[in-house]
Amino acid sequence: MSRLKALREQQNLTQEELSEKSGISARTIQRIETGREPKGHTLRVLAKALEIKESDLLHKKPEPAKQPIIEEKKEFQDEAFINYSTLKLINLSSIPFIIFPPLNILIPLVLMFAMKQKNSLTKQLISIQILWTILAPIVFMLGIFFKPGNQLSFLLMITIALSNLFIILRNAREIDKRQTLRYKLNFNMI
């Protein structure tokens, strides 16, 4: 079985569907699946349509899918457009506004659209800030409810702000090292 055919079948595509998706004729796809190596433009277009690397189409046999194909396609599509230095900047833009909670969401959100970084990681960063902005006043109010005194209330405020600073800096470090987030949610709020 050819690599193209295996990858196509792995994604549950017919030759005609791949033809429509890639713009390559069904006849060309048939030729490649019977042994002809794709080259140049055809290779690039087919790799893009299948959302794989060109080298995967030429050199490696596809591995069985570990997760549903739909999730892999979406993840690959999002990852292709991530500029990690911009992502780090969006993350760090929350720091000056930790004490002004609506701005610690608004500024990264504006930067996300301005820098065209509407991807899963950026949405995760902003979702974390939204969640923190919701939870911080709740924790503070619960702390005041127990009447710890003025000094402990002030210490609680500082601890809440430092917790957000820690989350932001730790995610920035992971973006640098592993191009992922240390703290993330299983859902997006935006």
* Domain harbouring 8, CATH code: 1.10.260.40
The number of beta carbons lying within 10 Å of the beta carbon of residue 168 is 23
In this structure, the answer to whether residues 26 and 100 fall within a common structural domain is no
End-to-end CA distance of the chain: 43
- Structural domains in the chain (count): 2
In this structure, the answer to whether residues 104 and 48 fall within a common structural domain is no
Spatial contact of 189 and 102, defined as CB atoms under 8 Å apart: no
Quote the pTM value: 0.56
CA distance 11 to 17: 11
In this structure, the answer to whether residues 101 and 168 fall within a common structural domain is yes
pLDDT at residue 51 tops 80: yes
**Which pLDDT band, with edges at 50, 70 and 90, does 1 fall under?**
low
118 lies in some domain: yes
Would you state the pLDDT for residue 77?
Answer: 47
CA distance 142 to 17: 57
In this structure, the answer to whether residues 174 and 89 fall within a common structural domain is yes
Average pLDDT of the chain to the nearest whole number:
83
Domain region containing 139: 84-178
Give the tokens for residue 71. 């999730």
130 lies in some domain: yes
| Tens-place pLDDT, residues 134-172 | 999 998 888 888 877 778 888 888 999 999 999 999 999
In this structure, the answer to whether residues 90 and 62 fall within a common structural domain is no
**Which pLDDT band, with edges at 50, 70 and 90, does 11 fall under?**
confident
Domain end, chosen from 17, 39, 66, is at 66
